[in-house]
Structure 1
Amino acid sequence: MSIIKYEILNKVAEVNSFTKAADLLGLTQSAVSHAIHSLEKEFGFALVNRNRSGITLTNEGDTMLLTIRKVLHFNEKVQQEAANIVGLTKGTIRIGIFTSVSTNWLPNIVKLMEAKYPDIRIELLEGDYIEIEQWLLSGEIDCGFINVSHSNQFDVIPLTKDRLLCIVSSESKLYNQSSISFKQLETEQFIMPAYGGYHDVKLLFEKHHVQPNVRFELMEESAIMSMVAHHIGISILPEMVLNSLLPGVRAIPLEIDSYRSIGLATRYNLSPAAKKFAELTKSSLNNDR
């Protein structure tokens, strides 16, 4: 068994390319190709499909990768535990994040981690709630920020409740209100946030029997805010993404305070480095509050 071969297959699966994997690992393309061929010979079946559109894993490759990632995780944990024993904290941790977390929390957390644990390397993968959960399940990341109220599959450290607010432009008849009722949300065109996984806004509407007049669905929060600023509709966004509202736009509470609950979900058998990240994240956010 060669750990480096497993690392090569894992990287090829991530980037779907021998060339890109070689560049990222500091190897030649022929070395990457040879390692994959060696694993295929050792296992007795093909691991990758090679075609003009790139490299993808075979079904057998996908199955093996799940176990290989567990091997890599525990190999990393062994190295970190050994370093921990001799008084060093080092290693690599991979974190799943979504946009508002990367904008509001990550710069300070990363800065604190680098100051306190300079030998811990952090890698970030950005996605939505469901992608982060899938990455946790497949072993691609060590921990990730998710919606706490949705997931019961992981150890989760609760971090904050992020209020959902209605954003309206100065031309909306709702602009001067101190709060907005759920029925009033049906009276104007609505710009629906569009993302995969647990959908805070749609579930809020289902809970309160709101039938919005949806004009557009957009992924980017900045695009949603621009649409609202141009009087195309109203929307609902988490307070964390509303640090700098565009001119003529207000963020107004709903008649009943509604929230998304954000937490840090972790894999079982966390490595020492990942434990340090989780502890520092919780303490830094508590200090901020």
Structure 2
Amino acid sequence: MSLFSYQIFDAVAKQQSFLRAAENMYLTPSAVSHSIASLESKLGFSLFIRSRTGVKLTSEGEALLIHVRTILNCEEQLQQEATQINGLGKGTVVIGTFSSVCTNWIPDIVKSFEILYPNININIMQGDYEDVIFWTKNGIVDIGFASLPIKEKLIATPLYKDRILCVTPRDFKPIHSTYVTIDDLKNHSFILQREGYSADTVLFIKKHNLSIRSQFLIDNDQSILAMVENGLGISLVPELILNKVRCNVNVYPIKPNEFRTIGLITYKTELLSPATLKMFDHILSYIKSNNLMNL
């Protein structure tokens, strides 16, 4: 079984389509189909379930994919190590992130990294918390930003404590003029982030045994604030979200203070390529140099 056949298998799994995988790898669909069929024949089981809309992994394919991506990561690591020895500094790093980090940190991180390492390619994938964990666990991204702690067996490095704030319409009047308490939050209509984004808020609600009414589940930061601005409810959001968006709303700290912990997650440190290790260290340096590490 060749490395190229593993690359084709990985591409089909990512694209969930023989055609799109072929386009991405500059191959014909028949060449991709033949490679997968040959691999299935050698392994003795099917890797994909075919349908009119595309393909999806069998349970056997899912189990094998983890090992295939480990092999591909090792190959990438070998190639990058060789080019580093030759002083070329080449490679590719794929970063998984969620909206507020992507908006506030990623542009500066990427720009400053490219100045230091112009020959290293950087790819960014944005999703929700669950997306990033899945991508990291399955080798789709090399490094992920996540809200800690996580249940999966990944290596987590805490970076930043992000305060949870209460966002309200302008006419909302808390018991205390400068902050809200748990009592202020009871029996209000809430605008929450949809599942996948809302882990921090859900933990807060469970921790304080709040019984709240939620009419809206949104996955866009600006949309949440716009709905609050129009009097449709109140919301709980991390402070980082508010740095790049503007709406005519009131923002209150919560007493007692609540935080989410933003961190980096990786699969196995020993499998990180030289380029990924450079990016990992660069992110840590960025957080420290901007006085963001407040743990």
Question: Is 1:228 aligned to 2:218, yes or no?
Answer: no
Paired residue type of 1:273: A
Counterpart CA distance in 1 for 2:37 and 2:73 is 23
Equivalent residue, structure 2, for 1:202: 202
Counterpart CA distance in 2 for 1:90 and 1:286 is 26
Paired residue type of 2:90: K
Counterpart CA distance in 2 for 1:240 and 1:197 is 14
- Give the 5 Å matches for 1:72-87: 72-87=72-87
SS in 2 for 1:242: helix
Paired residue type of 1:48: F
Question: Is 1:140 aligned to 2:140, yes or no?
Answer: yes
Equivalent residue, structure 2, for 1:271: 273
Equivalent residue, structure 2, for 1:288: 290
Deviation at 1:277, TM superposition (A): 0.6
* Identity within the alignment, %: 38
Paired residue type of 2:144: G
Paired residue type of 2:44: G
Residue 133 to residue 47, structure 1, CA distance change in 2 (3 Å): same
* Conserved? CA contact 1:130–1:198, under 8 Å: no
* Conserved? CA contact 1:168–1:175, under 8 Å: no
Deviation at 1:247, TM superposition (A): 4.1
Paired residue type of 1:35: S
SS in 2 for 1:170: coil
Q: Deviations over 1:187-226 (max 9, x none)?
A: 4321122222771111112222222232322222222111
Q: Would you say how many aligned residue pairs link Structure 1 and Structure 2?
A: 289
SS in 2 for 1:159: strand
Paired residue type of 2:167: I
* Conserved? CA contact 1:109–1:284, under 8 Å: yes
* Conserved? CA contact 2:94–2:143, under 8 Å: yes
* Conserved? CA contact 1:190–1:234, under 8 Å: yes
- Give the 5 Å matches for 1:1-289: 1-151=1-151, 153-174=153-174, 177-196=177-196, 199-268=199-268, 269=270, 270-289=272-291
Q: What is the CA RMSD across the aligned residues, in angstroms? A: 2.0
Deviation at 1:239, TM superposition (A): 0.8
Counterpart CA distance in 2 for 1:79 and 1:196 is 35
* Conserved? CA contact 1:10–1:69, under 8 Å: yes
SS in 1 for 2:217: strand
Counterpart CA distance in 2 for 1:169 and 1:72 is 51
* Conserved? CA contact 1:183–1:210, under 8 Å: no
> What is the TM-score when the length of structure 2 is the normalising length?
0.91
Counterpart CA distance in 2 for 1:187 and 1:137 is 39
Structure 1 spans left out of the alignment, 5+ residues: none
